[in-house]
Structure 1
Amino acid sequence: MVVTIVPRVESLASSGVLSIPKEYVRPQEELTSIGDIFEEEKKDEGPQVPTIDLRDIESDDPAVREKFRAELKRVASEWGVMHLVNHGIPDELIERVKKAGEEFFGLPIEEKEKYANDQTSGKIQGYGSKLANNASGQLEWEDYYFHLVFPEDKRDMTIWPNTPADYKVATEEYARVLRSLATRVLSALSACLGLEEDRLEKEVGGLEEMLLQMKINYYPKCPQPELALGVEAHTDVSALTFILHNMVPGLQLFYEGKWVTAKCVPNSIIMHIGDTIEILSNGKYKSILHRGLVNKEKVRISWAVFCEPPKEKIILKPLPEMVTEAEPALFPPRTFAQHIEHKLFRKDNPEDEAKSSE
Structure 2
Amino acid sequence: MEVERVQAVASALMTAETIPADFIRPEQERPAITTYQGPAPDIPTIDLSLPDRESVVRAVAQACEEWGIFQVVNHGIPTELISRLQAAGKHFFDLPQEEKEAYAKPPGSQSIEGYGTRVSKEVNGKRMWNDHLFHKVWPPSSVNYRFWPTNPPNYREVNEEYTKYMREVADKLFLCLSLGLGLEETAVKEAIGGEELEYNLKINYYPPCPRPDLALGVAAHTDLSTITILVPNDVPGLQVLKDGRWIDAKYIPNALIVHVGDQIEILSNGRYKAVLHRSTVNKEKARMSWPVFLEPPEEWVVGPLPQLLSPESPPKYKAKKFKDYMYCKLNKLPQ
Normalized against structure 2, the TM-score is what? Answer: 0.94
Cα distance, 1:118 vs structure 2: 3.3
* 1:14 and 2:1 aligned: no
Q: Give CA-to-partner distance per residue, 1:113-143, whole Å, 9 cap, x none.
A: 1111136332431111002243322111000
Could you say if the C-alpha distance between residues 329 and 251 of structure 1 is closer, same or farther in structure 2, counting changes exceeding 3 Å?
same
Separation (CA, whole Å) in 2 of partners of 1:250 and 1:14: 20
2:19 is matched by which residue type in structure 1? I
How many Å apart are 1:30 and its aligned residue?
1.6
Matches of 1:206 and 1:340, distance apart in 2 = 19
Contact 2:3/2:131 (8 A) holds in 1: no
Q: Which residue does the alignment assign to 2:140?
A: 152
1:86: Cα distance to partner? 0.6
Q: Does 1:23 align with 2:22?
A: yes
Query: Is 2:79 the counterpart of 1:120?
Result: no
Distance 2:111 2:328 in 1: 21
1:158 and 1:340 map into 2 onto residues whose CA distance is 24
**Which residue is 2:164 aligned to?**
176
Distance 1:347 1:10, change over 3 A: farther
- TM-aligned CA distance change 1:298 to 1:45, over 3 Å: same
Identity value in percent? 43
The answer for unaligned runs of 5 or more in structure 1 is 349-358
Query: Does residue 242 in structure 1 map to residue 229 in structure 2?
Result: yes
CA pair 8-125 structure 1, distance change in 2 beyond 3 A: farther
**Does structure 1 residue 34 correspond to structure 2 residue 32?**
yes
Corresponding position: 1:259 with 2:246: yes
Find the counterpart in structure 2 of residue 52 from structure 1.
46
1:335 maps onto 2:329 in alignment: no
Q: Pick one of 252, 256, 264 that aligns with 1:277.
A: 264
Equivalent of 1:201, from 178, 189, 193? 189
Q: Structure 1-normalised TM-score? A: 0.88
* TM-fit CA distance, 1:338: 1.3
Match of 2:66 in 1: 78
Q: Kindly provide the amino acid, as one letter, of the partner of residue 30 in structure 1.
A: E
In structure 2, how many angstroms separate the alpha carbons of the residues matched to 1:242 and 1:99? 18
Aligned residues: 332
Please tell me the residue identity of whatever aligns with 2:304: P
What is the distance in 1 between the residues matched to 2:91 and 2:174? Answer: 33
Q: What is the rounded CA distance, in whole Å, between the counterparts of 2:286 and 2:135 in structure 1?
A: 22
Equivalent in the alignment of 1:352: none
For residue 342 of structure 1, report the CA deviation from its aligned partner: 2.0
Aligned counterpart, 1:286: 273
> Deviation at 1:193?
0.8
Unpaired runs of 5+ residues, structure 2, are: none
Q: CA RMSD in A?
A: 1.9
Please state how far the C-alpha of 1:324 moved relative to its aligned partner. Answer: 1.9
